[in-house]
């Protein structure tokens, strides 16, 4: 038996399973838990609430407060086809976690048609999150999963609500606990610890840029974290975008990557931008309705019923993640080289 095979078997034995599902290999690991592929132990029945294949996010009991908060957020935003569905939670024994890095390759972007469609879907998800009164606070390619559909396409779904915050009316979310990933943080977050709806729009701009180019907006191998924070917070330093990006794509980015959050467009406004508005009644909605989660839903503002709690600590979320958007962005498409300022 090889060392690798032995280690994999040890991992599987060390991780207890749920009552109706079996935990399989590790999909990814973050600061607030690890995500595993899970399959049903028994054949699916008509009364079965779980899909045949799921993702299970786990954390140790002593470190599970983030998951409990995330489950609460899921309960309040349930019902949008561009947001991962949460099916419940369950307590299991603590398991051994093996880290697994997302594969990276040369900087490459996605085809323009995919960028438009993915942007539209992500934007629909953001609009729904904001309509429920939440800010995601950690939007980035790693937190967008591509889920397979019945017709062979993929639909992006927003995941990982561990840092999501409820926005209090007429009051900005500003405190010492402001978190997220620096490279995708808005200027007002790095300068004043403010996290409000416009922060997610800035992050969307960063994601769209990366989908087009395959490289992060602020990426420079020689830049330190302090220099990165200074660049993002500098009111006069603006990022650059390639001339090769279509004109309506550049216009869309300009309206996302506005330093002053007061002048950043909302998700509702951006959905009317030419870059994505043509997809309103097109492929995007059809793909979402045929995703493997199997439920035909729409991103309306009506309240969906709360999910039932199975237990505490582990929650079972979503359907079949094809892969994180970051992996696909950096292994497909074309390369852009010519820069142009956003403004």
In the chain, which ranges are E strands? Answer: 21-30, 33-40, 53-58, 86-90, 134-135, 144-148, 154-158, 165-166, 240-242, 314-317, 321-324, 339-341
170 is in an annotated binding site: no
Structure tokens that stand for 72 in this block: 């609460």
Is 226 among the residues known to form the active site? no
The residue annotated as part of the active site, out of 138, 196, 200, 244, is: 138
CA nearest neighbour of 88 among 78, 96, 80: 78
Rounded distance, CA 152 to CA 169, Å? 42
What is the number of other CB atoms lying within 10 angstroms of the CB of residue 171?
8
β-pairing, 134-135 vs 86-90, is unpaired
CA nearest neighbour of 27 among 42, 15, 44, 45: 15
The answer to whether 165 and 172 are in contact (CB under 8 A) is no
The answer to whether 219 and 183 are in contact (CB under 8 A) is yes
Helix, strand, or coil (residue 254): helix
Q: Report, as residue numbers or ranges, the catalytic residues.
A: 138
Residue list for the binding site for ATP: 57
Residue list for the binding site: 57
């Amino acid at each position: 038996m090889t060392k690798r095979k032995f280690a994999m078997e040890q991992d599987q034995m060390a991780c207890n399973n749920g009552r109706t599902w079996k935990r399989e290999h590790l999909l990814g690991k973050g600061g607030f838990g690890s995500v595993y592929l899970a399959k049903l132990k028994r054949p699916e029945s008509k009364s079965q609430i779980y899909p045949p294949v799921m993702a299970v996010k786990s954390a140790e009991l002593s470190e599970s407060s983030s998951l409990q908060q995330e489950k609460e957020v899921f309960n309040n935003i349930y019902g949008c086809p561009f947001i991962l569905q949460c099916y419940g939670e369950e307590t299991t024994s603590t398991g051994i976690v093996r880290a697994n890095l997302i594969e990276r390759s040369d900087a490459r972007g996605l085809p323009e048609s995919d960028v438009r469609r993915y942007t539209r879907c992500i934007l629909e998800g953001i609009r729904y999150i904001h309509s429920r009164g939440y800010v995601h606070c950690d939007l980035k390619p790693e937190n967008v999963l591509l889920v397979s559909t019945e017709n062979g396409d993929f639909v992006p779904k927003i995941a990982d609500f561990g840092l999501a915050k409820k926005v209090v009316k007429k009051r900005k979310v500003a405190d010492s606990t402001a978190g997220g990933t620096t490279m995708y943080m808005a200027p007002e977050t790095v300068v004043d610890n403010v996290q409000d709806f416009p922060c997610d729009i800035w992050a969307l701009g960063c994601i769209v840029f990366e989908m087009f180019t395959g490289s992060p907006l602020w990426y420079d191998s020689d830049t330190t974290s302090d220099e990165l924070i200074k660049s993002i917070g500098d009111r006069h330093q603006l990022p650059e975008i390639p001339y090769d990006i279509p004109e309506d794509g550049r216009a869309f980015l300009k309206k996302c990557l506005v330093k002053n959050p007061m002048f950043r467009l909302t998700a509702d406004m951006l959905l009317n931008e030419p870059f994505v508005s043509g997809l309103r009644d097109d492929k995007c909605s059809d793909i979402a309705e045929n995703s493997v989660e199997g439920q035909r839903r729409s991103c309306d503002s009506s309240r969906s019923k709360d999910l039932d709690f199975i237990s505490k600590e582990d929650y079972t979320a979503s359907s079949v993640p094809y892969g994180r958007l970051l992996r696909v962005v950096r292994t497909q498409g074309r390369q852009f080289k010519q820069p142009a300022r956003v403004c």
